[in-house]
Amino acid sequence: MVHEKEHKTKGLVAVFTGNGKGKTTASLGLAFRALGHGQRVCIIQFIKGSWEYGEIVAAKKFSPLLDFHVMGRGFTWKSDDLEKDKAAALEAWKFAKEVIEENRYALVILDELTYLPHYGMLAEEEILTALADKPKGLHVVITGRYATQKLIDAADLVTEMTEVKHPFKSGVKAQKGFEF
């Protein structure tokens, strides 16, 4: 335990992982909170589905404090061309790395980043190095399933979303405003 007077501030690395719902939305909640304090936020989504996500539309209303980037060609595990996906993923990562290094934001969210190393599109060492070298005051949030032990070790905060119950299991389809 740290004694109260020893508590300090620092830019955190947070990871939201696990199979339960709430990883991306938890990070959006943090963005909302930071924006309320006039802090600049950058959200980079590494995997895009075919839905029209409410958060992308809402993000425009927070301009110019919030920048929202949906990267690549919407690569997924259902892809038809893995080489193109990999190139897009690397391009997206290069951009994210620059955003971290430039230090123009209070909070950078790398949504669904865990899938890149998981599917062999990016060496995990790249991510670990960028986190180790990040600007001291910057908060970085990474979301996605399959966070590795190395990523967990590198983080200050890790929350695993556990699925206890999900409406999908009882046949309720994804709903606008709740899932996307």
Please give the residue ranges that form the binding site for Mg ion (CB under 5 A): 23-24
Q: Is 79 in the site for ligand ATP (CB under 6 A)?
A: no
Q: What are phi and psi of 51, to 5 degrees?
A: -75, 160
Nearer to ligand ATP, 2 or 164 (CB): 164
Report d(CA 176, CA 87) in Å as an integer.
31
b or e along 87-103 (b: 16 or more beta carbons within 10 Å of the residue's beta carbon)?
Answer: ebbeebbeebbebbeee
Give catalytic status of residue 21 as yes or no. Answer: yes
Residue nearest to Mg ion (CB): 24
Nearer to Mg ion, 53 or 135 (CB): 53
To the nearest whole angstrom, how small is the minimum distance from the Cβ of residue 173 to ligand ATP?
A: 10
103: left (phi over 0), alpha (psi -120 to 50) or beta: left
Tokens of 149: 């032990």
- Residue 117: asked if its preceding bond is cis (omega within 30°), the reply is no
Give catalytic status of residue 77 as yes or no. Answer: yes
| DSSP conformational letter for 6 | G
Interface map 47-76 toward ligand ATP (x if CB under 6 A):
------------------------------
Nearer to Mg ion, 124 or 179 (CB): 179
To the nearest whole angstrom, how small is the minimum distance from the Cβ of residue 74 to Mg ion?
A: 14
Interface map 93-112 toward ligand ATP (x if CB under 6 A):
-------------------x
Give catalytic status of residue 25 as yes or no. Answer: yes
